[in-house]
């Protein structure tokens, strides 16, 4: 499958990515290969390969955190520090385990619908850990006013700037100091929290989770399309007034160029954007539903009208095993004659073969169960559970 446009729908906007070179995605199912006895020695990686691997890992983590956090509406930005007298703040596995237990207790006792995403950060000494996170649906989690307010990164006494953002504490966090501030822009908070994912962090936490997220967190809705670039110009002109961000990113190593656009759909726009995704879909004729034998017969007739060669396929309903044999013969024929593949482009032969194999397996299992003597009127379930 090829696509040149990807849309990612967040809670307050839609991000549209346009690829200069179409992206190809394989639809094949890769089955696990048997382990080989002779394993070659791993090749030593160059410094460039190591740096590229770390950079790619950082980018993947940042992208995951950003897309997940943008798909949710957040209420509080929190910071959790760890007192070395109460917990070893240099042991990441220990502090992350305590954090996980703490969030589970919050959901059980105070906020069943609590949503959160939490990322770790290293102190400047590169050894001690603390955490930052985004919270929503905090329910009955108690917060106490600290008497401080903040303007950006600057902290003041409440009496000096009473209209600034208030800083709260979380009394339930017993392992150190904690703060919580109200989030006024979820989009900016999502961008801000990704800055804690650094190269040093990814290097230290190799093969480990680099963020903690609740199971009920919302995920962004992604769609892909393959559209003619001239048609794209017409589509984008329709939403030109709703574009709040645009960036062109070139990837010389991959020979790719990506245009990022953000379409606002929240209150910030006087005319909220209600993206009609159907206009991205190419105009196609409504397919006519037909069974497998009809598809095969129609394809055979189309081929015979264009060429005088004949494919030996039965037009009459056949048993599953006979039908499987016909499919395999057709697959072998197309492999030998690739010039006629266009006639069968509407038939997924590999899928039909897999479907027929499952049908045969189901019939065989049913026959075995019918012949089996069953006592105490107990009837076991039969069939393949993953059809």
Query: Block means of pLDDT (10 residues each) for the chain, length 387 residues?
Result: 88 88 73 58 73 78 88 94 92 91 94 94 85 94 94 89 93 95 91 80 70 90 86 80 85 86 65 51 48 61 50 51 82 78 70 78 69 45 35
Residue 229 confidence (pLDDT)? 80
Answer yes or no: is 156 within a domain.
no
Answer yes or no: is 351 within a domain.
yes
Answer yes or no: is 343 within a domain.
yes
How many structural domains are present in the chain?
1
Answer yes or no: is 233 within a domain.
no
Residue 385 confidence (pLDDT)? 34
Answer yes or no: is 321 within a domain.
yes
Residue 147 confidence (pLDDT)? 93
User: How does strand 129-136 pair with strand 2-9?
Assistant: unpaired
Answer yes or no: is 362 within a domain.
yes
* Residue 60, CA atoms < 13 Å, CB-side half-sphere: 9
Edge-to-edge strand list for the sheet holding 256-264:
221-225, 2-9, 13-24, 256-264, 243-251
A 10 A CB-CB count for 307 gives 13
Beta strand extents in 293-337 (DSSP E only) = none
Answer yes or no: is 350 within a domain.
yes
Residue 373 confidence (pLDDT)? 47
Distance, in Å, from the CA atom of 4 to the CA atom of 23, rounded to the nearest integer, reads: 6
Q: Are 134 and 76 a contacting pair, CB within 8 Å?
A: yes
Please state the pTM of the whole predicted model.
Answer: 0.63
Answer yes or no: is 149 within a domain.
no
Structural domain span for residue 317: 292-371
């Amino acid at each position: 499958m090829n696509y040149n446009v990807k849309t990612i729908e967040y809670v307050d906007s839609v991000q549209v990515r346009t690829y200069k070179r179409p992206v190809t995605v394989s639809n094949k199912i890769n089955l696990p290969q048997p382990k080989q006895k002779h394993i070659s020695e791993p090749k030593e990686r160059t410094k460039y390969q190591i740096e590229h691997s770390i950079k790619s890992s950082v980018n993947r983590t940042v992208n995951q955190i950003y897309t997940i956090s943008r798909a949710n509406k957040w209420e509080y930005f929190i910071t959790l520090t760890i007192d070395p007298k109460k917990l070893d703040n240099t042991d990441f596995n220990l502090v992350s385990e305590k954090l996980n237990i703490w969030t589970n207790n919050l959901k059980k006792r105070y906020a069943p619908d609590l949503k959160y995403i939490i990322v770790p950060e290293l102190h400047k000494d590169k050894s001690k850990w603390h955490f930052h996170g985004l919270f929503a649906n905090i329910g009955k989690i108690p917060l106490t006013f600290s008497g401080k307010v903040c303007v950006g990164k600057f902290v003041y006494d409440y009496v000096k700037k009473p209209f600034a953002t208030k800083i709260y504490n979380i009394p339930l966090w017993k392992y150190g100091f904690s703060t919580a501030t109200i989030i006024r822009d979820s989009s900016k908070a999502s961008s801000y929290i990704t800055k804690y994912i650094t190269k040093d962090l990814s290097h230290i936490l190799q093969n480990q989770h680099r963020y903690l997220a609740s199971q009920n967190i919302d995920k962004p809705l992604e769609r892909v399309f393959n559209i003619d670039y001239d048609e794209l110009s017409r589509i984008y002109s329709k939403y030109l007034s709703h574009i709040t961000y645009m960036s062109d990113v070139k990837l010389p190593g991959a020979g790719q160029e990506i245009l990022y656009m953000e379409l606002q759909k929240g209150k910030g726009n006087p005319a909220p954007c209600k993206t009609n995704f159907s206009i991205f879909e190419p105009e196609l004729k409504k397919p006519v539903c037909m069974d497998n034998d009809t598809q095969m017969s129609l394809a055979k007739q189309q081929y015979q009208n264009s060429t005088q060669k004949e494919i030996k396929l039965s037009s009459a309903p056949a048993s599953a095993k006979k039908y499987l044999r016909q499919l395999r013969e057709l697959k072998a024929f197309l492999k030998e004659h690739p010039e006629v593949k266009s006639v069968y482009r509407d038939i997924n032969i590999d899928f039909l073969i897999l479907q027929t194999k499952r049908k045969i397996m189901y019939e065989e299992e049913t026959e075995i169960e019918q012949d089996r003597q069953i006592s105490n009127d107990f009837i076991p379930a039969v069939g393949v559970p993953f059809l």
